[in-house]
Amino acid sequence: TVHTLQPREEVERRQRRMAAMMRARSRRRRHALLAASVALLALASFARAERRHFVRIAEDGTSFALDDTDFYVHGFNQVQLMSHAADDAPAPQNASSSHQNGRAKVLEVLGDAETHGFNVLRTWAFNDGVGMWNALQVYPGIYDEKVFRALDWLLWQCRRHKIRVLLALANSWSEYGGAEQYLEWARSRHDNSSGEPYPTSFYSSLACREMYKRFVRKLLTRRNVYTGVEYREDDYIFGFDLINEPRAPTAGELHSWTREMADFFKSIDGNHLLTSGSEGFFGPSTPSLKKFNPGDWTSTHGNDFYRNHAISSLDFAVFHVYPDTWFNEGEGGETCDLDCAIAFTQDNIRAHLTSPLPKPVVLEEVGKKGEGRDRYLEEVFRAMHDSHMDGGYGAGTM
């Protein structure tokens, strides 16, 4: 047999051709794997989206629904849980329950709530000002990541305890900073040469509105470090209050602020329910219902239950009831015993549930002190629940 040696050039040409074929085959394999990975990720994302279960407005418009099942709010208020969760220093060994660290206290609250069947927690998602205990927003747009992670942890734990969360975005009172802190920040930054008027009201100040919006955007787009889910995609967040108990100099000022902020919120988050956080005093839009307010003094705080909650970007209405604070300790200087408190509250609840507003109504805060408290609360809870069972607009109590 005679072997003919191939020229060096021919051997190198064949080697290059073989290498090119191998590279092409490798590219095709990588592209196929990439396409498969993309498809799997898309399916996983779709599956995750399908698994999300947001509380919605029921088809009849009178109540809430979860997966087409009636969802009546049996809730409670614990406003400080984020701040307690940020106080995570270990407790001393063998310490009593009063010396538990913050997260242990939070877990105790959530455990008790789950045991007693509560399904919604209302709490603060804000704490403004460098001087506040465990402040979240220490300066405008500057946040303490430790406190943000505490809020992340709280939401994660609520999910584990099967409790949804109603988050308030600000406070109209000075506690936890709130509107007064925003106004102080706006005044400290005011430039007389800018042409903007000196800030006199949180609700009318352009600077306050912009700071509030920046905070809302930051919160809604926050990705929870424990769940990996953005707040606006978290289905264990029941909804949001724009601000706790807003009071403004005029009804027009509060209405303008509420409309602007509600529309802004919905431009970022279309998943969650939104409400005002208002005490729910009746105003000029329903003059016949003003007699159910606790006094004429309410007309100076800008509230108008029907007009403000009729804003299309608000999904449901809320109101608060505090007969002791409003009468015995309040601006009206009146007194109101237990029978008076029960009668007033029953009339007040009925007025809110039968107003012209065609939206679910939640009694978001209620309180009574001293003897007869249990009887009072029993009457309140029964009135709201009876409305719900009769097909009315009563959608829950906290």
Which positions are annotated as active-site residues? 245, 365
Structure tokens at 157: 């734990």
> Are β-strands 142-143 and 137-139 bridged in parallel, bridged antiparallel, or unpaired?
antiparallel
- Per the CB < 8 A criterion, the answer to whether 128 and 135 are in contact is yes
Phi, psi at residue 394, to the nearest 5°? -65, 115
Residue by residue, DSSP assigns 334-373 as ----HHHHHHHHHHHHHHHHTSS--S-EEEEEE---STTH
Strand intervals (E) in the chain: 56-57, 64-66, 69-71, 73-77, 120-124, 137-139, 142-143, 164-168, 237-241, 273-275, 317-321, 361-366, 394-397
Q: Are 235 and 273 in contact (CB under 8 A)?
A: no
Task: Indicate the burial class of 205 (C-beta count within 10 angstroms; 0-12, 13-18, 19 or more).
Answer: buried
Q: Which two tokens stand for residue 106?
A: 């939070």
* Pairwise CA distance, residues 323 & 335, whole Å: 9
DSSP 326: I
